[in-house]
Amino acid sequence: MSEKKSLLLQPLQVGPLTLKNRIMFPPLTTGYEERDGSIGDQSFYFYERLAKGGTSYIVIGDVTPVNTASPTPKLCDDNQIPSFQKLADALHAYDCKLALQLFHPEYDVPGVGRLIMGSMAAAKEAEAAKAAGNMELFEQKMAESNDVRGQAYAKLRHDMLYFATEATTEQLTEIKNAIAACAVRAKKAGVDAIEVHGDRLLGSLCSTDINHREDAYGGSLENRVRYALEVVAAIREAVPEMMIEYKLPVITVNEDGSQRGKGGLVPEEAKQFAVMLEKAGVDMLQVAQANHTGNMGDTIPPMGTVPYNWVLPVAAEIKQLVSIPIATVGRVVTVEAGEQILADGSADMIGYGRSLLTDPDIALKAESGEPIRTCLNCNKGCVDAIQNRQYLSCVLNAENGNEATVSILPGSGKKQIAVVGAGIAGLEAARVAAKRGYTVTVYDKAEKMGGQILIAAVPPRKAEILRAVEYYEKILPALGVTLKLGKEPSKEELNKADTVIAAVGAYNVIPPVPGAEAANVVSAWDILAGKTKVSGRCAVIGGGLVGTETAEYLLEQGCSVSIVEMLDKIAAGESSTILPIIEKDFKEHGVAKYTNTKVTAITPEGIQAVHTQTEEELTIPCDYVVMTVGSRKIPFSTEGITVPVLFAGDCSGEKTAGIAEAVRSGYHAANEI
């Protein structure tokens, strides 16, 4: 695609800045920052990689102007300026502009901080007492530490609901001044723009659900947005020459009519506020989903749960009311989708958040025409990681978070590589080997590439996972990879290669339970592959990811479902953004869940089981037993193969691999040759 044809690659004037294209990395919490909130190597190389890929505008999310206990970027001290300066200089080398999203959490930061520090101080005294052999003082100080820590978290929970209402005018003024001071530090660091985070404290004050003040900051729309406008004015006064963007949080409506989001504004009020923000000197608006819901899935929804770019209709309406550029974000996963938004005039800037994690070269590939690896919106590597206090990553991108040390290496001469298995691990191995300049042939006895991805896409809401396979269907032929599907290679064919990468996958396990050989005992994989059909009452054995998704599929087919799981929880490894949807589905369909339960036998009438804690025996009537207790690697024999063999995916270790592990093992196997 040439630059002339691509609307995404056209420049955009935003206030004093000229952005070279319309591709934006919106604010995402990464977890890459140093403990003091400064930009360390992991952050630096991650953002630099996005700039190398052609992104024109990068916003670092959740930059606090005060020293919070939360693990976010911080610019609350002049000593942190150099790390931001280094990053700004690096991005500017690629003509990429840098913005900081300044925010204040919806709680009394100094108050919570004092309690946490008090708890830590007591714990330190306790350890000193223990070292001195004074166990009485140790226990006393540990009890004090735990008590104060409990007070801290109790205050935090209280403030998240009530701080917007209870904060004094003096506190709000201090916060506003801290934000303005942070903007000055950003300017000194060479940062190009400030994005005001309209969620969190500001969104709480704007909200009729959260803000119950009776002073000048509560009640009418004009009062509820007053503080946000004061913050904008303070930033404009502090750094008059900088570009200011405002993240405008909009409360949307779910399919069942309930509101999605509590902080922020309903659409009609958001439109009025947008006009006020333009008059206040804001240069661009990012119209986005409001949060304060307690579930990140509401703001960063997983595949199949909401329409693509579901906030766009409101953004398009706001665009008609203001003359400043509008940025849109949220489930815009393809270049084509972004192009259409721009062509329709619905927005001026496209936020590719998760999509740029998956492929940081969207801009370069939009110009060259190279196939783009597309985000699945699975939330497995990104949102889940952040909620679990881990760092951001994408299941499809083996380089995420390790950009400084992980990249595709140049090949060492001309080599022939044979990849056995066209599942996700084998396909990634083939891509990397071909990128290194090797000649690659992929074999698979199946007629279609994709392996387990093809069955993983069958349950409700999961069809989008097929984008992983569609990428390889495009990129491998473009790289000259030969695909021999429907064929198992002979030893002679493999020995003609210089290296073999075995990625033959795994198979669904049927445990050795008495009665497991009966005709009514079936594999979940066979059901999802369409090889077996069931009906009536189905007992799913295994409540992990495959079990819960298979159960949902069976419900969709009209079956009555029970789930039997040895652990104490169903769907223990499922994404926290998806789990509430599954639980709601199970509740509506009356799914019987048997946790801490072990199957002891299968009979024509159903399942015999025992509760692992109470040892109570029970019978679960069913017509079919569906096995989803796990998988085991398919053995790959190296007998007769005279060339080196590497392993990737399920068959590479003792444990079978998830999609992230499969991709990474394929990547690294091919990168080692």
> Residues with catalytic annotation?
200
Q: Where are the beta strands (DSSP E) in 583-651?
A: 592-594, 597-603, 606-611, 617-621, 624-627, 631-633, 645-647
669 near 500, Cβ under 8 Å?
no
Q: Which of 119, 113, 118 is nearest to 70 (CA)?
A: 113
CA–CA distance, 600 with 611 (Å, rounded to integer)? 10
* CA-to-CA separations, 70 to 55, 151, 217, in angstroms, rounded: 28, 17, 27
Kindly state the helix (H) or strand (E) to which residue 152 belongs, with its residue range.
Answer: helix 135-166
Give φ, ψ of 103 to 5 degrees. -150, 160
SS3 string of 21-73?
CCEEECCCCCCCCCCCCCCCHHHHHHHHHHHHCCCCEEEEEEEECCCCCCCCC
Q: What is the DSSP string of 91-150?
A: HHTTT-EEEEEE---SS-HHHHHHHHHHHHHHHHHHHHHHHTT-HHHHHHHHHHHHHHHH
CA–CA distance, 588 with 521 (Å, rounded to integer)? 26
Those residues whose C-beta lies under 8 Å from the C-beta of residue 90, and which sit 6 or more positions away, are: 44, 47, 48, 51
Q: Where are the beta strands (DSSP E) in 493-616?
A: 499-502, 506-508, 521-523, 537-541, 560-564, 592-594, 597-603, 606-611
* CA-to-CA separations, 310 to 265, 270, 381, in angstroms, rounded: 16, 16, 22
Region class of 615: left (phi > 0), else alpha (psi between -120 and 50), else beta? left
- CA dihedral sign of residues 527, 531, 532, 533: positive
Those residues whose C-beta lies under 8 Å from the C-beta of residue 636, and which sit 6 or more positions away, are: 420, 502, 504, 645, 647, 651
530 near 523, Cβ under 8 Å?
no
Q: Which of 228, 222, 164 is nearest to 195 (CA)?
A: 228
* Helix locations, 284-397, DSSP H: 312-319, 335-344, 353-358, 362-368, 383-387
The residue type of 275 is: V
